[in-house]
Structure 1
Amino acid sequence: MKIEVLVTGCAGCRALYETVLKAVEEMGIDADVVKEESLERIIASGVMTLPALVINGKVVSKGRRLSLDEVKRLLNN
């Protein structure tokens, strides 16, 4: 599983990245978690609102700081 967290340096972005790492660890998922900070790559993905979460190439959330439970639900889908 490939998980990308599209972020800048804002507090909400950092929080989402940490939440994703915690969810992956707690669930025991074999995943490649990437923190994408390049604005060029983020814009190229079509996302204009951060933070955003991309799972296996699909944008599943944008513009929201998700809770641990919300991230776990998205990872289970």
Structure 2
Amino acid sequence: MGCGLDRLYADPSILRFELEADGEDACRLTFTNIFDGRDSATPLAVGWHAGLDLLAALLDGRKAESAPWEGLQAAYEHAFGSAA
């Protein structure tokens, strides 16, 4: 059984965090960011990707390293077919 949290961030953006059991000693986080405007897609994706990578490192007991912003930026621009 899981639980969810919807958070109104900046109208009309919504952040959704869902936690669900994944075995006996783990849980899975599913994160969704619903927002208006394609121009926001790349910077939001880069920021959340980097932040969630840091969270994963800390939860795994690893040293949190700075995210490779430039590489993420280029990858998301390519994936979304845009330049921010």
Question: TM-score under structure 2 normalisation?
Answer: 0.32
The structure whose RCO (Cα within 8 Å, separation 6+) is larger is 1
> Which of structures 1 and 2 has the bigger CA Rg?
2
